[in-house]
């Protein structure tokens, strides 16, 4: 009872990275709280899930196996979590800030009247005092997230209601195996006790989901462009540089909104968080919401014609000049000097 | 016969155009420095509603918004584009609401509006980016939801078919009405204001105003007291500044940098 729960996202029998990252974070929070980590798998053909999640320090895996539970639809998965959480009374429940987690989380939180914080960038354990009521709460989950377009960072707590729920985007937490031989137990539940036929009110009649071809999260070098590039054509320059030096192309939210780059390339608080060894920021002014997603890069080169661009303050190298001039030169001199 | 559609829309500060004066020195948000706009994805939801109205005769589009009195402009903007009317939920009792208390308030207003077939809203508002209110309203009303809609394909035979744009792909979902649908930024742009409708609606009252009492909202479930989440602390964001080396864009400077990156195995 009162353990930490993680909802597992499963695609083609594979537990998604975002869930494994949450298990890693969940394990360390659970150690602080001296509680167990429990994972919930809802779908079908779940016999290989345990082997994937136990090494992350999962003590109990709850499985709900029914062919109708794949692909995901809102109501049946909600019904499972609402009843399971009612029985198990988790103190914390985490899920990915993905299409699924952001559909499921709010619905579950509404049904349980428990607070949910979306898109957390950090989760910590700490105490809280409600001065008005003179009450002190110990060991609450601090749900830390940027707000207001990333201009402020808010720490949210849920003093009274359980579970304390939070969603986290992929890449924000690190994924780390705890112990390859960690032993957890599996509890297979009877789906009929949790989901009624009337929950299957929405059906998926077509589905085309592909694993992303863009591998920004794992790329050691990222060339990223911002609104300052001015056009989709100029973005091609970044692809040229990326192809030359073996990098992946990323983009700021403003560049994606302007149609210069695809959504899956968006880096920042509302996109992907990256930690490459080299980040080349081209025509990116450095709005906080972007910086939040790349500040942990080992080395940052900022190319900008504005010498006062905010991104310059976190860059190791600042090149003041036009991207259209500098980037082709980088291509040229790389070709000249590499073997 | 047409459908009764309710569009949930929010007036938001334009966080995409945050200027230097948007934050006060104490780290709080200077709302006065930010223009108030129609939340972009809610406009896309309105467009989907208006398309259904054009397609299915007898369909009505009603906006519902919550906020201070000036949020009436949201309903007016809707009327300018072809909506039939709207409601503004405004009461100090709603102040300080988190997403759950907001959803509760909206659901009480929807119950007061009465019969509906389709509720459309933006996936998320740009001032919070939580994407929670849509699904929570659906849960409070006990109706199903389809989120991340890029397009409502059809609404026939009591069922609605929706194309969803997801990470890495597309899904087509179908479900029985009534249904709540949240519309993502993959949906087509909203039509501009219609000049005739602007002339007709630019003056006078745009929205029917409702207080918490008007919609029989339980004060305990509204505003701060109805919000399980509490803001413990707010900090303005300060990044650790690094000592950076500044280069110009001359051939020599760029070549030296590239050679350095190759030599220390950062690239290549």
pLDDT of residue B237: 67
Interchain CB distance below 8 Å, B174 and A205: yes
Partner-chain contact B248 A312, CB within 8 Å: no
Provide, as residue numbers in chain B, all residues whose Cβ is less than 8 Å from the Cβ of A317: 244-247, 257
How big is the CA angle at A215 (ends A210 and A220), to the nearest 5 degrees?
170
* Secondary structure of A90-111 as H, E, C letters: CCEEEEECCCCHHHHHHHHHHH
**Tens digit of each residue's pLDDT (9 = 90 or more) over A213-245:** 778 888 999 999 999 999 999 999 999 999 999
Q: Do A110 and B135 touch (CB under 8 A)?
A: yes
Question: Is pLDDT above 90 for A42?
Answer: yes
CB–CB of A205 and B161 under 8 A? Answer: yes
Q: Do A330 and B258 touch (CB under 8 A)?
A: yes
Report the gap between the CA of A329 and the closest CA in chain B (Å).
Answer: 7
The shortest CB-CB distance from B242 to any of A154, A207, A314 is to: A314
Pairwise CA distance, residues A20 & A175, whole Å: 6
Cis peptide before A149 (omega within 30 of 0): no
Of all residues in chain A, the percent with pLDDT exceeding 70 is: 98
Residues, chain A, total?
339
* Nearest residue in A to B239, CA atom: A314
Q: What are phi and psi of A107, to 5 degrees?
A: -65, -45
Query: Does the beta-carbon distance from A322 to B161 stay under 8 Å?
Result: no
pLDDT 10s digits, A3-28: 999 999 999 999 999 999 999 999 99
Q: Do B144 and A74 touch (CB under 8 A)?
A: yes
Q: Are B182 and B137 in contact (CB under 8 A)?
A: no
Give the C-alpha separation, B251 to A331, whole Å: 12
CB contact under 8 A, B237 and A318: no
Nearest-angstrom CA–CA distance, A167 and A117: 6
Checking DSSP bridges between strand B11-13 and strand B36-38, what pairing results, if any? Answer: antiparallel
Phi, psi of A3 (to 5 degrees): -90, -175
* Burial zone of B17 (CB within 10 Å; 0-12 exposed, 13-18 middle, 19+ buried): exposed
The two counts, helices (H) then strands (E), for chain A are: 8, 18
Which of B175, B241, B248 has the CB atom closest to A314's CB atom?
B241
Query: Is residue B67 helix, strand or coil?
Result: coil
* pLDDT, tens digit (0-9, with 9 covering 90-100), for A55-93: 999 999 999 999 999 999 999 999 999 999 999 999 999
Side-chain half-sphere CA neighbours of A171 within 13 A = 22
Confirm if A304 and A320 have CB atoms less than 8 A apart.
yes
Confidence of residue A296 (pLDDT cuts 50, 70, 90): confident
Residues B22, A151: C-beta atoms closer than 8 Å: yes
Q: What confidence score (pLDDT) does residue B168 get?
A: 79
**Least Cα separation, residue B203 to chain A (angstroms):** 32
Asked if B229 lies within 8 A of A156 by C-beta distance, the reply is yes
Task: For the sheet with A221-225, list strands across it.
Answer: A248-251, A221-225, A278-282, A299-304, A317-320, B245-248
- Chain B positions in Cβ-Cβ contact with residue A278 (cut-off 8 Å): 261, 266-267
Per-residue pLDDT tens digits for A129-175: 988 888 999 999 999 988 776 677 899 999 999 999 999 998 889 99
Per-run averaged pLDDT (10 residues), chain B, 268 residues: 95 74 60 84 98 97 96 97 98 93 97 97 90 97 98 95 91 97 94 97 95 96 92 77 85 93 86
ipTM: 0.88
Whether residue B178 is preceded by a cis peptide bond, meaning omega within 30 degrees of 0, is yes
Asked if residues A294 and A269 have their Cβ atoms less than 8 Å apart, the reply is: no
d(CA A275, CA A296): 5
Which chain B residues are Cβ-neighbours of A320 within 8 angstroms? Answer: 246-249
Q: Which of B231, B246, B249 sits opposite A325 (nearest CB)?
A: B249
Q: What DSSP designation does B189 have?
A: P
Q: Which pTM does this prediction carry?
A: 0.86
List chain A residues with CB under 8 Å of B161: 205
How far does the CA of residue B18 sit from the closest CA of chain A (Å)? 8
Q: Which residues of A touch B245 (CB under 8 A)?
A: 316-318
Q: Could you tell me what percentage of chain A is helix, strand and coil, using 3-state DSSP and rounding each to the nearest 5?
A: 30, 30, 35
Burial of A215 (0-12, 13-18, 19+ CB in 10 A): exposed
Least CB-CB distance to B29: which of A130, A151, A160? A151
CA distances from B125 to A20, A116, B184 (A): 29, 16, 11
User: Is A117 within 8 Å of B229 when comparing Cβ atoms?
Assistant: yes
- A317–B239: do the CB atoms touch at under 8 Å? no
3 state SS for A287-325: CHHHHCCCCCCCEEEEEECCCCCHHHHHCCEEEECCHHH
Contacts of B18 in chain A (CB under 8 A): 149, 151, 287
Asked if residues A68 and A45 have their Cβ atoms less than 8 Å apart, the reply is no
CA distance A53 to A40: 10
Supply the pLDDT for residue A132: 82
Closest by Cβ to A74, choosing from B145, B258, B266: B145
Q: Nearest-CA residue of chain A relative to B170?
A: A208
Nearest-Cα distance to chain B for A159, in Å, is 7
Q: What is the pLDDT of residue B15?
A: 73
The whole-number pLDDT of residue B28 equals 56
CA distance A330 to chain B (A): 6
- Residue B167: count of CB within 10 angstroms of its CB: 13
pLDDT of res. A149: 66
């Amino acid at each position: 009872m009162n353990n930490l729960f993680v909802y597992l996202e499963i695609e083609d029998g594979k537990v998604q990275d975002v869930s494994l990252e949450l298990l890693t974070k969940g394990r360390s929070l659970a150690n602080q709280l001296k509680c167990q980590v429990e994972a919930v798998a809802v779908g079908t053909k779940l016999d290989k899930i345990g082997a994937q999640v136990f090494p992350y320090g999962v003590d109990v895996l709850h499985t709900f196996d029914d062919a109708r539970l794949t692909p995901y639809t809102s109501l049946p998965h909600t019904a499972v979590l609402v009843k399971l959480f009612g029985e198990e009374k988790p103190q914390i429940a985490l899920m990915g800030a993905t299409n699924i987690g952001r559909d499921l989380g709010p619905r579950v939180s509404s049904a349980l009247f428990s607070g949910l914080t979306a898109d957390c960038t950090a989760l910590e354990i700490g105490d809280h005092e409600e001065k008005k009521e003179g009450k002190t709460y110990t060991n609450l989950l601090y749900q830390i997230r940027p707000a207001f377009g990333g201009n402020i960072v808010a720490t949210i707590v849920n003093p009274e209601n359980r579970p304390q729920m939070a969603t986290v985007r992929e890449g924000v937490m690190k994924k780390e195996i705890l112990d390859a031989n960690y032993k957890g137990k599996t509890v297979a539940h009877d789906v009929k006790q949790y989901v009624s036929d009337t929950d299957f009110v929405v059906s998926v009649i077509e589905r085309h989901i592909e694993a992303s071809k863009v591998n920004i999260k794992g790329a050691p070098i990222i060339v990223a462009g911002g609104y300052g590039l001015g056009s989709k054509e100029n973005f091609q320059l970044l692809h040229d540089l990326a192809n030359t030096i073996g990098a992946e192309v990323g983009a700021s939210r403003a560049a994606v909104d302007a149609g210069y780059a695809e959504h899956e390339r968006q880096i920042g608080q509302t996109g992907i968080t990256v930690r490459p060894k080299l980040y080349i920021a081209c025509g990116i002014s450095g709005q906080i919401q972007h910086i939040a997603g790349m500040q942990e890069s080992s080395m940052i080169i900022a190319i900008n014609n504005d010498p006062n661009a905010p991104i310059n303050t976190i860059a190791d190298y600042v090149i003041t000049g036009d991207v259209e001039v500098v980037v082709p030169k980088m291509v040229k001199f790389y070709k000249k000097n590499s073997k | 016969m047409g459908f009764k559609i309710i569009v949930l829309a929010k007036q938001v500060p334009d966080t995409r155009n945050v200027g230097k004066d948007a934050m006060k020195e104490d780290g709080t948000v200077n709302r006065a420095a930010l223009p108030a706009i129609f939340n972009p994805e809610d406009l896309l939801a309105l467009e989907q509603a208006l398309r259904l109205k054009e397609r299915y005769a007898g369909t009505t589009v009603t906006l519902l918004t919550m906020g201070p009195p000036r949020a009436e402009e949201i309903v007016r903007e809707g009327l300018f584009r072809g909506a039939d009317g709207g409601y503004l939920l405004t009461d100090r009792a709603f102040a300080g609401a988190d997403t759950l208390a907001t959803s509760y308030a909206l659901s009480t207003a929807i119950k007061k509006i009465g019969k509906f077939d389709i509720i459309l809203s933006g996936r998320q508002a740009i001032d919070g980016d939580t994407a929670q209110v849509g699904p929570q309203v659906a849960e409070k009303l006990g109706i199903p939801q389809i989120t991340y809609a890029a397009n409502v394909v059809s609404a026939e035979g009591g069922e609605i078919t929706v194309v969803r744009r997801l990470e890495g792909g597309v899904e087509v979902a179908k479900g029985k009405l009534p249904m709540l649908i949240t519309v993502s930024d993959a949906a087509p742009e909203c039509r501009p204001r219609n000049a005739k409708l602007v002339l007709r609606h630019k003056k006078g009252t745009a929205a029917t105003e409702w207080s918490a009492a008007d919609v029989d909202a339980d004060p305990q479930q509204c505003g701060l007291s109805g919000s399980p989440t509490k803001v413990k602390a707010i900090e303005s964001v300060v990044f650790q500044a690094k000592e950076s080396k500044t280069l110009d864009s001359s051939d020599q400077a760029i070549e030296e940098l590239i050679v350095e990156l190759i030599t220390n195995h950062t690239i290549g």
